[in-house]
């Protein structure tokens, strides 16, 4: 999988756990919007786009099946997030 572009929108809302929202382009062919960068108790992680179900649960709309792909997405998005922080 080739990630061809990542766009980061920093979220500056004080003490919120949500730090940024990313859009990621895969192989110049498909875009995944609304990947969230969240500051959790164990550090930064990404949350894939999700939808709230009628019973109040959140279900991912898009998600990687293989751990290697999840790790690649995590590394790429967090790297772009760090770069966006430096550029700010």
CATH number at residue 14: 3.30.1120.40
For the chain, what is the domain count? 1
Domain that holds residue 79: 3-87
For residues 29 and 88, what is the distance between their CA atoms, to the nearest angstrom? 29
Helix (H, G, I), strand (E, B) or coil at 54: coil
Under the banding of pLDDT at 50, 70 and 90, the label for residue 88 is confident
Q: What is the pLDDT of residue 15?
A: 74
Encode pLDDT of 1-44 as tens digits: 899 999 999 997 777 899 999 999 999 999 999 999 999 999 99
pTM of structure: 0.88
- CA atoms lying within 13 Å on the CB side of residue 70: 10
């Amino acid at each position: 999988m080739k990630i061809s572009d990542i766009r980061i929108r920093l979220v500056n809302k004080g003490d919120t756990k949500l730090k940024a929202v990313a859009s990621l382009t895969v192989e110049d062919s498909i875009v995944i919007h609304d990947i969230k960068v969240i500051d959790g108790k164990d550090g930064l992680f990404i949350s894939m786009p999700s939808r709230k179900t009628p019973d109040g649960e959140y279900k991912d709309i898009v998600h990687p099946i293989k751990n290697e792909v999840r790790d690649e997405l995590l590394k790429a998005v967090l790297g772009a997030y760090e770069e966006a922080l430096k550029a700010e």
